[in-house]
Structure 1
C-alpha cells in the first residue's frame, strides 16, 4: 500500500483538489443561474401565450360583428329603391330631387359599407396577428421547458460531481499537518489601517468583506455567515446596493477592466482559466477572499495564476 502523502505533498494535493472543487462549484452555480433564467423565459412565454389567445378571441368576436355589418350593407345595396350607382339613380329617378335623394342614400350606404369593410379587414388582421403571436409564444414556452428539463438533469450531474469532489477533499484534509490545518483557520494578515477605496460603493463593500474575516467557507453559500468566493463578493457589494452576478466567471466580465498595476481597494481580482476564484483587493498586494472548504474568509497575498481584475460599477 502507498503511504498517505505528508507535509507539503499533502497540502499540494489538497489545494489541487480544492481548485477542482471550486471549478465544479462554479459550473454548478452557472447551471443553476441558467435554469433560473430559463424558468423566467418559460413564465414570460406562458403569460404571452395566454395574452395572445385572449387577443385572438376578442379579434375573432370583432370579426364576426363586422362581418354582420358588411353583410347588412351589402344587402342594402340591392334593396328596392336604392341602386348601385348614380347613373342608375338618375335613370330611375322621376325628378331632380328624387335623384338627389337617391344619390344621398347611396353615398350613406357606400360610406357605411366601406367603414364596415375596413373594420372587418382590421379585425381579421388582428386575429391573424394574435394567432401567430400565440403560436410563437407557445414555441418559446416549449423551448424553454425543454431547456429547463435538460438543465435540471445537468445540475443533478454537476451536484454529484461536486459532492464526490468534496468527499475527496475532506479525505485529503485528514492528511494535512496540524500547522496546515491551523493555517486554514487563521484569518491571515492584519488589514492595513484606514483603507481608502475610490468610491463609496467600493468602500462599503470592502468594509463588509473585511467584517467577515474568520467566517467559514461553504460551497454555494453567499452569506451572511458562510460564503464561497464569489458569494462573498456578491454579499459585500450587495450591502453597497450593487448587484453582482453570482459566479466568479460572470463577475470577471462585470464592470470595468483594471490593469494589475492600477489596482485599487474594492477591485475584484480573478484566478485560473477559465476563471473559478475571486477575491477583493485591499491594497499592498493583498486581497480578502474565501479560499476553499475547511478554510475561512481571510487576507492573503495576491496569488499565482492571476487572470485579471474588474472594478464593479453601477
Structure 2
C-alpha cells in the first residue's frame, strides 16, 4: 500500500507485533484529537497516507498471525491424532500384559518342585517351565515398553497443551490486529470523505506517480513459472483490495503475490516481509517480469514487476488491483522466486 488512500470493508484474518501495535495505538490516539473537517487538504492527504501505511503494516502483522495460527492448528491436530494412537497402543499393551499375568498366575499356582512330582510327564513339565521363564522375561520387556509409551504420552499431552495455549495467544493477536486495521481504515475513510472532488482526484493522481528518471527494463520473464505468475496477476486486474484476503475475488498486496505464484505452482509465504526473502535478490535495474518488488524499509507493501517500469499490485482499500510505476514509493528489495 504506499501512499495509501481509500477504504473498503474489512475481511480476513491477521495478527500483529506488540511494538507495532503500541505505535499504531499511539498514532490513533493522536489522530482522534483532530477533527477531519478542520485539517487543511494537504495535511489531510498526509494523514491519510500515514493511516494507510500503518493499516498496511497492521494488515501484514495480521497475515503473519493468521499464518501462525493456521500452522499451530495443524500441529495441534497432528498432536491430538498422535496422542489418540499412542493411547490405543497403551490400551492394547495393557490387555496383553493382563492376559499374560493371568496365565502366569494360573501356571505358577503350584510350587515347581511339587508340580514336578505330580506331573504325568516330567519331560513335558520341564519344557513348559522353560517356556514360562521366557514368558516372564518377555513380560518384563513389555512392562518396560508400556512405561516408556506412557512417558511419551505424557510428554505429547504436555506439548499439545503448550501448542493450544500458543494458538489461543495467536488468535487473540489476530483479533487485536483486525481491530487496529479496521480503526485505521475507518479514520482514513473519514478523512478522504472530507476532501473535495478535485482534491480527491489530485490525491489519487499523486498516489499513482513515481520516479521517471530511472531506466527500467522490459524484457521477458525470468522463467516459465514467472511468466505464469505475471499472467495470473494480470487476470486479477480490477479486482478489489480486501485486506487480509488472498483471492480469488479480492486481495491485499501480499495475498495477490501469493495467489499469482500459486497459480504457477509456486508456494510463496503469506506476508510481504517473508516474500522479500523467498528467492534470489536482484538489483532493480535488472528486474524482470515476475520479480517481486517490496516497498518501504519494513517491506510492508509488495507488487509484481511486469516490465517497462510497471508493477501490478493491490494498492489500498477502495483501489482495485492495477498497474502503477515501480518507483511509486521507496523500493526495499527486488526478489526473483
TM tier, shorter chain?
Answer: 0.7 to 0.9
Higher relative contact order (CA 8 A, sep 6+): 2
3-state SS, counterpart of residue 112 of structure 2:
coil
**Which one of the candidate residues 189, 205, 224 is aligned to 1:200?**
224
- The whole-number CA distance in structure 1 between the counterparts of 2:285 and 2:219 is 18
Tell me if 1:180 matches 2:202. yes
- The whole-number CA distance in structure 1 between the counterparts of 2:76 and 2:46 is 45
3-state SS, counterpart of residue 65 of structure 1:
helix
Aligned position for 2:334: 309
Deviation at 1:172, TM superposition (A): 2.3
Q: Which has the larger radius of gyration?
A: 1
Aligned residue pairs total: 291
**Which one of the candidate residues 84, 105, 128 is aligned to 2:147?**
128
Deviates most, 105-114 or 179-188 = 179-188
Tell me if 1:13 matches 2:13. no
3-state SS, counterpart of residue 279 of structure 1:
strand
Answer yes or no: is the 8 Å Cα contact 2:45–2:203 preserved in 1.
no
Answer yes or no: is the 8 Å Cα contact 1:286–1:302 preserved in 2.
yes
Give the TM-score of the pair, scaled to structure 2: 0.76
- The whole-number CA distance in structure 1 between the counterparts of 2:256 and 2:59 is 14
Tell me if 1:54 matches 2:76. no
Deviation at 1:12, TM superposition (A): 2.8
Answer yes or no: is the 8 Å Cα contact 1:269–1:310 preserved in 2.
yes
3-state SS, counterpart of residue 249 of structure 2:
coil
Answer yes or no: is the 8 Å Cα contact 2:192–2:200 preserved in 1.
no
3-state SS, counterpart of residue 275 of structure 1:
coil
**CA deviations over 1:140-178 (Å, ceiling 9, x no partner):** 221122122222222222111111101111122224414
- The whole-number CA distance in structure 2 between the counterparts of 1:308 and 1:156 is 30
Answer yes or no: is the 8 Å Cα contact 1:17–1:169 preserved in 2.
yes
Deviation at 1:225, TM superposition (A): 3.0
The Cα RMSD (Å) is: 3.0
- The whole-number CA distance in structure 2 between the counterparts of 1:3 and 1:43 is 53
Deviation at 1:206, TM superposition (A): 0.3
Aligned position for 2:71: 37
**CA deviations over 1:211-254 (Å, ceiling 9, x no partner):** 22232222112222321101111121121122222221222222
Answer yes or no: is the 8 Å Cα contact 1:186–1:214 preserved in 2.
no
- The whole-number CA distance in structure 1 between the counterparts of 2:83 and 2:333 is 44
- The whole-number CA distance in structure 2 between the counterparts of 1:292 and 1:127 is 59
Deviation at 1:77, TM superposition (A): 6.8
Deviation at 1:43, TM superposition (A): 1.3
**Which one of the candidate residues 74, 87, 97 is aligned to 1:63?**
97
Deviates most, 224-233 or 114-123 = 114-123
Question: Unaligned stretches of 5+ in structure 1?
Answer: 84-100
